[in-house]
Structure 1
């Protein structure tokens, strides 16, 4: 309630200022006594109506515009004198352009030339009497005569300028406020779009991580299960060993999924663990490393791990069971190069390519690249990861 009252204080203050101006004009002029008590009452009503229009212009600009038209028309009809306090209509011109609705703004714009013409007609008809001091009157008439535009056009121009300047100022502030609101809305929408893009990117990364972890683990488990078919029945210990390996791979897969969902990061040593797990699954893996290993950034570590994981998954899925998987890591001054080779059958069907696309996206995110393709009966994938 108090906050609502405080919002009215500027409007009430402006109305009180107009009333005080009217009171000052009343006490400073003795010509009102010439018109009698009825004209004095009309003077008070004119001042009060003008103050009301100024007080309403922010909250009800349409009503304020209507008041500043009704008051002078009633003065003309009753032959009441026009008073200096009515200069406060300039505040109404400002307010209608600043706070009015579309209809009020258009109506106030049309009111400016209409008011200028109305003043000329009222002055010409004798309804408005302007009592300037003689020197001032002669100066005004001389200036108008020198311009050669006549008193009618001169009066209309002056009136239109008096009303037009505050109206344009209100319109300029209105446009500036609207521009600020549009900028704030655009910034809000941009922030929302960036947040949406960030969430979708995080979802895409999570989906790739889960795809890589689950796909790799299932491929290793599948390779182990297929190896069990070739064990003779006379070697139960070997079969138990393979089943234990399958259980280990499953536990490792669950752990990796938990790590992905909890956003924990893997270390560079996990590259060796990936190779060791594949070798433990019964696949022949030849691994080598050139150059001097050095620490990678956190993002590069995760990328190297996931890319090698997907490379090994593709090798298990599409490679020959009797062929070795060759993993070569090379350290150059600028990159860690990971190369995976595996033999494939000549008539092997090509994969969907989603795994390769996922690896390319991962590597591109850290400034790396991927080259992959078949060379006769060997599939070669080479990943380049920037290294400090």
Structure 2
């Protein structure tokens, strides 16, 4: 609107350019066309047609208001739609031809030009069309440059967005990796804590049982034998703890069924009567199931040693089935409540056994019935690294 008002003021000023002053109606049409050139190029071109009709109808000569044609045609070529761009080109051609015809029929000076030499006449007749089409072509060129710049900006924005998305994805992947690493570290720490509990708890139970029997022994040879058992149990426990803390704990090695006999024998050497029986064909256990079988048997016997009634045997049964090993331990208890881990100790041993076996697809249960504590564990085979569930 500001440009339209300025144009109207210029058109009305008494400037001596050897051009006829436009009528007020022509000035109004030109100003409106300039005001609408960006808001509605179609309406602006319609006002240019109105301007031409006013000038021809009023017999007006060329004046400054004719600049509005150039402004509207050029602006439409830059900002208009495709249809409006084509329409502005047609308007430029039609307006140029009409101006030539109008001037040739009414203008004395123009008649002199077109009646002169052939080259001069051609240039004079082509000047209006050439000028308007030149402005239109310049607008299209500017439109193309702007479109290319916008495309470059969009491409740059897309690349920046892709870079940001990639950075976010990389950060998310790094966060996920850290979370997985932390979860794995936590799992390893939990496994180490559980294994240390099982190893140390079992060994200490055996050592305490042996040490408690020493004051009641009169035979020096028997005392030496018990002392040797205590030392052997402590050394074995130390080796196993070092293996656990080094996170080797038998990993990658198979477990011979005879290692379960060694655990039972250690309880016997602690002075406990153990009734050990076995059924089924023995199988060499894989690393996972072998470790689980040793730790579970250690914990069940430790629990029997801690809470069992003195003088009563501990029953250990091994059942080697086609796909799993079933371990059962039973022992008499003096007080049924004493065998429940929540009343004595942390209960971590039984909970750890259940968690360990659930991970392998096995099961564990324990209960006290008629003053007998019975624990049963099922360990699926992990033969050559493949757990059968």
Task: Find the aligned partners of 1:117 and 1:223 in 2 and give their Cα distance.
Answer: 100
Q: Scaled by the length of structure 2, what TM-score is found?
A: 0.59
Task: Find the aligned partners of 1:338 and 1:144 in 2 and give their Cα distance.
Answer: 100
Counterpart position of 1:16: none
Contact 1:330 1:337 in 2 (8 A): yes
- Counterpart pick for 2:351 among 336, 352, 357: 357
Aligned-pair CA distance for 1:188:
1.0
Describe the SS at the equivalent of 1:333. Answer: coil
Describe the SS at the equivalent of 1:229. Answer: helix
- Counterpart pick for 1:198 among 169, 184, 187: 184
Aligned-pair CA distance for 1:140:
5.4
Counterpart position of 1:210: 196
Q: Does 1:370 align with 2:364?
A: yes
Describe the SS at the equivalent of 2:318. Answer: strand
Aligned-pair CA distance for 1:287:
0.6
- Counterpart pick for 2:238 among 254, 276, 291: 254
Residues 64-97 of structure 1, C-alpha deviations (whole Å, 9 max, x = no match): xxxxxxxxxxxxxxxxxxxxxxxxxxxxxxxxxx
Q: Does 1:240 align with 2:240?
A: no
Describe the SS at the equivalent of 2:216. Answer: coil
Aligned-pair CA distance for 1:259:
2.6
Counterpart position of 1:180: 166
Describe the SS at the equivalent of 1:215. Answer: helix
Task: Find the aligned partners of 2:85 and 2:348 in 1 and give their Cα distance.
Answer: 92
Distance 1:297 1:126, change over 3 A: same
Task: Find the aligned partners of 1:162 and 1:128 in 2 and give their Cα distance.
Answer: 23
Task: Find the aligned partners of 2:221 and 2:143 in 1 and give their Cα distance.
Answer: 110
Describe the SS at the equivalent of 1:272. Answer: helix
Q: Scaled by the length of structure 1, what TM-score is found?
A: 0.59
- Specify every segment of 5 or more residues in structure 2 that has no aligned partner in the other structure, as ranges: 1-36, 45-66, 78-83, 93-135, 384-389
Matches within 5 A, 1:257-276: 257-262=241-246, 263-265=248-250, 267-268=255-256, 269-276=258-265
Q: Does 1:385 align with 2:332?
A: no
- Specify every segment of 5 or more residues in structure 1 that has no aligned partner in the other structure, as ranges: 1-115, 146-150
Describe the SS at the equivalent of 1:190. Answer: helix
Deviation beyond 3 Å, 4+ runs, structure 1: 123-132, 137-140, 142-145, 157-166
- Counterpart pick for 1:339 among 328, 334, 337: 328
- Counterpart pick for 1:230 among 205, 213, 216: 216
Task: Find the aligned partners of 1:175 and 1:283 in 2 and give their Cα distance.
Answer: 73
Task: Find the aligned partners of 2:284 and 2:263 in 1 and give their Cα distance.
Answer: 18
Distance 1:243 1:139, change over 3 A: closer
Distance 1:169 1:343, change over 3 A: same
Task: Find the aligned partners of 1:344 and 1:143 in 2 and give their Cα distance.
Answer: 109
Task: Find the aligned partners of 1:143 and 1:307 in 2 and give their Cα distance.
Answer: 95
Q: Report the RMSD for the aligned CA atoms in angstroms.
A: 3.5
Task: Find the aligned partners of 1:237 and 1:138 in 2 and give their Cα distance.
Answer: 116
Residues paired across the two proteins, number: 257
Contact 1:374 1:380 in 2 (8 A): yes
Matches within 5 A, 1:125-204: 139=86, 141-142=88-89, 163-204=149-190
Describe the SS at the equivalent of 2:374. Answer: strand
Task: Find the aligned partners of 2:317 and 2:175 in 1 and give their Cα distance.
Answer: 48
Aligned-pair CA distance for 1:346:
3.0
Task: Find the aligned partners of 1:370 and 1:177 in 2 and give their Cα distance.
Answer: 52
Counterpart position of 1:318: 307
Distance 1:369 1:138, change over 3 A: closer
Distance 1:348 1:139, change over 3 A: closer
